[in-house]
Structure 1
Amino acid sequence: MSRRTVSLTVLALVLALLILVAPDVLLVIFAGVLFGVFLSAGGGLVQRVTGLQRGAGIALFIVLVLLALTGAFLAFAPAMFEQADALARQLPPAFEDLRDRISAYSWGPTLLSRLAPSRLLSSDGGFASTAVSATFGALGNVVIILFIGLYTAVDPGLYRRGLRALLAPPLRPRGDEVLAIADGTLRGWLGGQIISMTVVGVLTWLGLWLIGIPLAFILGLIAALLTFIPNIGPVLSAVPALLLALPEGAEQVGLVLAVFLTVQTFESYLVTPLIQKERVALPPALIISAQLLMGVLFGLMGLLLATPLAALALALVREVYVHDYLEEGPAKAQGPDRAD
């Protein structure tokens, strides 16, 4: 067996073992790498504009992002907190109104009993303790993601060289190409998501404001954030707006639906195709399937990372399996491994 085959087999076995033993850890690492790609792209842009060194460019980019977030927070915080507080006050009555409407049907009480919050609670307070532990676990994961992203952004070559060293010498040039393709795929997906989130948030805010829905700003912000989860996010973002429109009658509910459908159609069929490269574009059925699988297996973290993971997996399958193996691409065209 050649060194080329052995190196690929060992990498595949190690990855499979990690997936079986510690899949949650791999998700956190991937999230950190994704954040590192974001910092690297932003820092690279600052570096090209200012001529600074890589580390200084990334540091300046982080400062600029923090300043932008602080400025936006100071500018919109009063309205945001006011609207969030109003939303928290208005949603419970809206839920009660929806509950009363469902209870009017013969099947309503059965459905409501199955969805009762008491089913989530245990007599020993297990729900509360689980929520607390999950919160601290999430905060710890966020810290780890931030540090992984920072370290990989400051010196990505160190980690690329480490991965490259695990490959047999004849495969290393092709390994560099595949890593560059993976980096480009994640950059393209991130850029597309940021633009899509901004477009959806602004258009949703304007649309709801024009039809007179209260709390349009906070609802637009919710829509922008949930756009990070394609397909499922837009459905979730429409729920608060529909609940607020429900007491106003069917006409207002229809207008809210029209706003969300128009915004999502515009984003799906015009914005996304224009801003995403062809190699990042994913079949909708594949996205939904990946989200369903990752959400069931790994919860919220899996759902959030399902789409970039699917994009990366599709790019790797295309380059490594289809191009290099099935079509006998460059990796096999380099000749025999002389060190066998």
Structure 2
Amino acid sequence: MSRRAVSLSVLAFVLALLILLAADVLLVIFAGILFGVFLSAGAGLVSRVTGVGRGGAIALFILLVTAGLIGSFLAFAPAMLEQADELARQLPPALESLRDRISSFSWGPSLLGRLAPSRLMSGEGGFASTAVSATFGAIGNFVIILFVGLYAAIDPGLYRRGLRALLSPELRPRGEEVMDVAGHTLRNWLGGQLISMSFVGLFTWLGLWLIGIPLAFILGLIAAILTFIPNIGPVLSAVPALLLAMPEGWSQVGLVLAVFLTVQAVESYVVTPIIQKERVSLPPALIISAQLLMGVLFGLMGLLLATPLAALVLALVREVYVHDYLEERQETLLLRDPPDQPMQEKRQL
């Protein structure tokens, strides 16, 4: 077996072993890498504008982001907190109204009984203890993601050289190209996603404000945040707005639904293709399948990271399997002379 085959076999074996034994850890590391890509992209922009080195550019970018978040919070905090409090006050009556409508159907009481809070909270290790443990686990994962992303952004070359050293010498140049493609794919997806989130939040806010829905600002903010989860996020973001519109009648519910459908249609079919320029094009069925699979296997973390992970896997499959193996194999077969050609010519003579 050649050194090339051995190095690829070792990498595949180690990756498969880590997926089997510590898939959750790999998911947290991938989230850290995605955060590192965000820091690297921002630091690169700062470095081009200011001319400072990589470390200083990262520190300056973090300061700018922090200052922007603090400034936005101070500017919008009064309205945001007031609307969040009002949303928390109005949702229970809206849910009660929905509950009454469900109860009017024959199957309603049975469904409501299954969703009763007492059943969700009952039992040892029930919902309450699960929520507490999940909260502490989420905080720990968040800290790990921050540090992994920070270290990866400060010196990405260190980790690239480590991966490169695991490949045989003849594969190292191609390995560098594949790592460049992977980083380019994640940067494209992340940049497009941030712009799409801003678009959805802004125009959802304006649309709800124009049709007179209360708390339009906080509902637009929720829509922007949940856009990070394609396909499923927009559905979840529409639920609070629809609940608030129900007491106003079905015409208002229809207007709210029209706002969300219009914004999502423009974002999906106009904004995102223009931003990404088809470089991170993912089939919708693949996105939904990846989200369902990752959500079932890894919960909320898997659902959040399903789309960028699918984009990365698709890019690697295209570069490594299709281009380097299938197409190379096809070219080899086409260049090879048919072994029976001389005999066939003799037979024709």
Q: What TM-score, normalized to structure 2? A: 0.93
SS in 2 for 1:123: coil
Q: After the TM superposition, which residues 115-134 of structure 1 pair with which residues of structure 2 at under 5 Å, given as runs?
A: 115-124=115-124, 126-134=126-134
Q: After the TM superposition, which residues 1-340 of structure 1 pair with which residues of structure 2 at under 5 Å, given as runs?
A: 1-124=1-124, 126-328=126-328
Separation in 2, partners of 1:184, 1:67:
28
Separation in 2, partners of 1:326, 1:222:
44
Q: Which fold has the larger relative contact order, with Cα–Cα distance below 8 Å and residues 6 or more apart in sequence?
A: 1
Separation in 1, partners of 2:24, 2:6:
27
SS in 1 for 2:132: helix
Give, in angstroms, the shift of residue 41 of structure 1: 0.3
Deviations 1:303-327 (A, max 9, x none): 0000000000000000000000001
Work out whether residues 200 and 224 of structure 2, in 8 Å CA contact, stay in contact via their aligned partners in 1: yes
Cα RMSD of the aligned pairs, angstroms, is 1.0
Deviations 1:190-232 (A, max 9, x none): 0000000000000000000000000000000000000000000
Give, in angstroms, the shift of residue 274 of structure 1: 0.3
Separation in 1, partners of 2:12, 2:125:
43
Work out whether residues 227 and 234 of structure 2, in 8 Å CA contact, stay in contact via their aligned partners in 1: yes
Separation in 2, partners of 1:194, 1:170:
38
Deviations 1:262-290 (A, max 9, x none): 00011011000000132311000000000
Separation in 1, partners of 2:159, 2:173:
15
Work out whether residues 46 and 60 of structure 2, in 8 Å CA contact, stay in contact via their aligned partners in 1: yes
Separation in 1, partners of 2:305, 2:126:
28
Work out whether residues 34 and 186 of structure 1, in 8 Å CA contact, stay in contact via their aligned partners in 2: yes
Give, in angstroms, the shift of residue 114 of structure 1: 1.9
SS in 1 for 2:328: coil
Paired positions, count? 330
Work out whether residues 208 and 216 of structure 2, in 8 Å CA contact, stay in contact via their aligned partners in 1: yes
Separation in 2, partners of 1:232, 1:70:
29
Deviations 1:159-214 (A, max 9, x none): 00000000000000000000000000000000000000000000000000000000
Work out whether residues 84 and 218 of structure 1, in 8 Å CA contact, stay in contact via their aligned partners in 2: yes
Unaligned runs of at least 5 residues, structure 1: 333-340
Deviations 1:123-181 (A, max 9, x none): 34632222111101100100000000000001000000000000000000000000000
Separation in 2, partners of 1:277, 1:182:
17
Separation in 2, partners of 1:255, 1:200:
17
Separation in 2, partners of 1:110, 1:123:
20
SS in 2 for 1:214: coil
Separation in 1, partners of 2:132, 2:282:
36
Give, in angstroms, the shift of residue 19 of structure 1: 0.4
Deviations 1:41-96 (A, max 9, x none): 00001001111000001110000000000100000000000000000010011000
Separation in 1, partners of 2:132, 2:228:
25
Separation in 2, partners of 1:84, 1:311:
34
Separation in 2, partners of 1:125, 1:35:
33
Moved more, 313-322 or 126-135: 126-135
1:335 is matched with which residue? none
Separation in 2, partners of 1:297, 1:13:
21
Give, in angstroms, the shift of residue 105 of structure 1: 1.2
SS in 2 for 1:22: helix
Separation in 1, partners of 2:320, 2:311:
14
Separation in 2, partners of 1:8, 1:118:
53
Unaligned runs of at least 5 residues, structure 2: 333-349
Q: What TM-score, normalized to structure 1? A: 0.96
Separation in 1, partners of 2:168, 2:122:
55
Amino acid at match of 1:179: M
Amino acid at match of 1:305: L
Amino acid at match of 1:105: F
Structure with bigger gyration radius: 2
Amino acid at match of 1:97: S
Work out whether residues 120 and 126 of structure 2, in 8 Å CA contact, stay in contact via their aligned partners in 1: no
Work out whether residues 279 and 315 of structure 1, in 8 Å CA contact, stay in contact via their aligned partners in 2: no
